[in-house]
Amino acid sequence: MPTNSQGTANARDPLSPPVPRRRFVEALLGGGFLATAVAFLYPVLHYLVPPKASDLGSDAVVAGRVSELKPNSGKIFRFGNRPGLLIRTSGGEYRAMSATCTHLSCTVQYRDDLRQVWCACHNGKYDLNGRNISGPPPRPLEDFEVQVRGDEIFARRRREA
């Protein structure tokens, strides 16, 4: 019966091929190293090659319903992967614009007490047409065209002429 280095008997069957322990451990370590490398590289590659923007497919979305907005109020809606802002003015008109602040991209909101669009991040203010009127925002908000069809209010990107 074969013995090991300490002189005790080995229980292994002498007819079976020797267990390639060293290769098994090497494969285990190699697999662990590979998994670690993938875990580090995947987020880096995902950052460097971002997925295609999903808001390129549609130029118009249902921004809200007539029945849900009272005069002098606003609501955030989703326009692709960006927020939009739908406002019903005190006079009952609808306005729609991007809700992404042109300063540092915070989401703006409608302030019924000011009757303005307000960015809470740095106190930026826009008028009801999305024009920047106070604070750090450098440009107006993107203005959307509004169409009311039945109870649905559509916001549509304006086409460049």
The residue among 59 and 127 lying less far from ligand FES, judged by its C-beta, is: 127
Q: Are residues 154 and 147 in contact, defined by beta-carbon separation less than 8 angstroms?
A: yes
User: x/- site string to ligand FES, residues 77 to 106, per CB under 6 A?
Assistant: ------------------------x-xx-x
Q: Are strands 94-98 and 60-65 parallel, antiparallel or unpaired?
A: unpaired
Nearer to ligand FES, 84 or 124 (CB): 124
Residue whose entry in the numeric block shows the structure tokens 């809470």: 120
- The least distance separating ligand FES from the CB of residue 120, rounded to whole angstroms, comes to 8
Three-class secondary structure of residue 52 per DSSP: coil
Binding residues for ligand FES restricted to 20-79, rule: CB under 6 A: none
Cα torsion 43, 49, 52, 54: sign = positive
CB of residue 50 vs ligand FES: minimum separation in angstroms?
A: 22
Residues whose CB is less than 8 angstroms from the CB of residue 4 and which lie 6 or more positions away in sequence, other chains included: 10
- Residues of this chain that interact with ligand FES (CB under 6 A) are 101, 103-104, 106, 119, 121-122, 124, 135-137
